[in-house]
Amino acid sequence: MPVGLYQTTSEGRILDANPALLQMLGYPDLSSLKAINVTDLCVHAEGYRRLQELLLRRDGKMRGYIAQLRRYDGSVIWAETCSRVVCDAAGQVLYHEGAIQDITERRSAEARIHYLAHHDDLTGLPNRVMFKQRLEQAIAEARRYGHKVAVLLLDMDRFKTINDTLGHDVGDGLIKAVAMRLNGCVREIDTVSRLAGDEFAFILPGLAVGEDAARVAQKILDEFAQPFWVSGYQLFISASIGIALYPADGQCVDTLLKNVDAAMYHTKEHGRSAYQFYAAEMNARAFERLALEHALRHALERNELVLHYQPQIALDSGKIVAMEALLRWRHPELGLIAPMQFIPIAEETGMIVQIGEWVLHTACAQNKVWQEAGLAPVRMAVNLSVRQLRQPNLGQMIERVLQDSRLEPRYLELELTESMLMQNAEVAIPALKALGAMGIEISIDDFGTGYSSLSYLKRLPIHALKIDRSFVCDIPADHDDAAIAMAIIAMAHNLGIRVIAEGVETAAQQGFLVDHYCDAMQGFHLSTPLPASEAVRLLACA
């Protein structure tokens, strides 16, 4: 028989087997098979457990199950097995007998059928069936945790022209090339699916804000701006993208797909090679942000970025001891743009690295100009961003800036926010120690708003703490803020660290800080941030 047959004891010791079973399991002879327990054939614990249950049964019913079995050479097969108990006339168990059938090919075929039912055969991406299943899961999770889910629908513009002129083989090659690029535009938790023809869909789960979907859409469009090489042809093709958000644009799969389809066709009607949100107000916000990002990329080369300088005065002498360089953007159409509007964009896109280097160059060069003009030397305080801190060549870059500007390191002070420092402490410690060894001073900005570890403060080469303006604005009237400011001053002085109060706007605030031995202050009470031409007059009078 082509089916493997066997007999075992109730303990699973093999008594007999037919040649078909030996061949199926690859055992050279019956004695080698008898040397093992039948449960030793099971690959997984579940199969072992099921077989043990069968051996413990005392009725004569045939029982079957599917499991993976290990062959003599270590390879694995899928097998369908069944067994029953054989008893004598008195009801005593004589042995267990069973049959094993190799169903490996059947299982492979079933797996292939399941794969084809859920994947696109050309690209290997999930198809419409799996896309809908995953979207249902993403919606359920978003409903539970209060997140947003973005659905993007992409249609390749004028793809039919390529099929008609170059043939379907080139068209299929282009579809595969596009699929590879699209996979590189998303996170691991996202889904890229080919729904049909030249139509692709995306699921972006776990979003905090809808604008994140716009960033992914723009990244996809940037990929389409580069040519595709297929079968020796250089192909240029664009794409139109629609975006719909859960829960704002639909709370079920069908509604979201209907609305994202409408958004995609709206894109095609308005010029192609772009994206559109289903919600008009979201479109406006996203376009405004991306327009700002696009303009920021050219701000440096167009000399639109400028530095303003705000002085810090020593409270014991009243003299200016430092100038903080503050970045401003003079947009030719929008005027002066506040840092809070464009600095986060620069951080997210990585432009802050290039901009930050320009700020360092400009601020250090300006400080040297003031010194050479005979003004009393002061420190130049420059803010350092997270991305700059993580740059492996940060120390070399700053050293190069100092050499180019001929500014001594002791006249440069780098400011890092408390939250940024604590979140990147292990990266910051060696980087800041290297900068401190160069003679550069380090200060912590916005102190009191994060969660500082005193052990880190002790390990870091910190020269100054800046009390955040939120604790300064209501002193001395607010007793809680006054107590916090006093505690920061006392702690810092015990660690040998200077204290600077930010956002000082009144004489009463200044008097409180003097009474409690704060080292320096900065704020509108002394001066607003000024262009270099006006800041020089302050230095000349100091």
Average pLDDT over residues 50-54: 67
Q: Residue 117's pLDDT is what?
A: 79
Q: Residue 366's pLDDT is what?
A: 96
Instruction: Kindly indicate the confidence band of residue 163, based on its pLDDT and cuts at 50, 70 and 90.
Output: confident
φ, ψ of residue 237 to 5 degrees: the values are -145, 145
Average pLDDT over residues 405-426: 84
Q: What is the CA radius of gyration of the chain?
A: 36
Instruction: Kindly indicate the confidence band of residue 432, based on its pLDDT and cuts at 50, 70 and 90.
Output: confident
Taking 90 as the threshold, does the pLDDT of residue 173 lie above it?
yes
Lowest mean pLDDT among 208-212, 263-267, 452-456: 452-456
Instruction: Kindly indicate the confidence band of residue 349, based on its pLDDT and cuts at 50, 70 and 90.
Output: confident
Per-range mean pLDDT, top range of 236-250, 417-431, 443-457: 236-250
φ, ψ of residue 527 to 5 degrees: the values are -170, 145
DSSP 73: T
Q: Residue 24's pLDDT is what?
A: 92
Taking 60 as the threshold, does the pLDDT of residue 62 lie above it?
no
**Bridge partners of residue 13, in order along the sequence:** 37
Beta carbons within 8 Å of 188's beta carbon, 6+ residues apart: none
Distance CA 102, CA 47 (A): 15
Contact 520, 485 (CB under 8 A): no
Average pLDDT over residues 361-367: 96
Q: Residue 136's pLDDT is what?
A: 95
Q: Residue 290's pLDDT is what?
A: 76
Only one residue has tokens 């506040």, namely: 338
Taking 60 as the threshold, does the pLDDT of residue 452 lie above it?
no
Contact 237, 174 (CB under 8 A): yes
Instruction: Kindly indicate the confidence band of residue 417, based on its pLDDT and cuts at 50, 70 and 90.
Output: confident
Average pLDDT taken over every residue of the chain: 88
Distance CA 166, CA 161 (A): 8
Q: Residue 281's pLDDT is what?
A: 63
Beta carbons within 8 Å of 64's beta carbon, 6+ residues apart: 80, 81, 82
* Paired sense of beta strands 520-521 and 305-314, if any: antiparallel
Per-range mean pLDDT, top range of 412-421, 439-448, 513-522: 513-522
Q: Residue 283's pLDDT is what?
A: 60
Identify the sign of the CA torsion 181, 185, 190, 196.
negative
Per-range mean pLDDT, top range of 104-113, 388-397, 450-459: 388-397
Domains located in the chain, CATH noted: 4-108 (3.30.450.20), 119-294 (3.30.70.270), 300-541 (3.20.20.450)
Residue 191 token pair = 């889904």
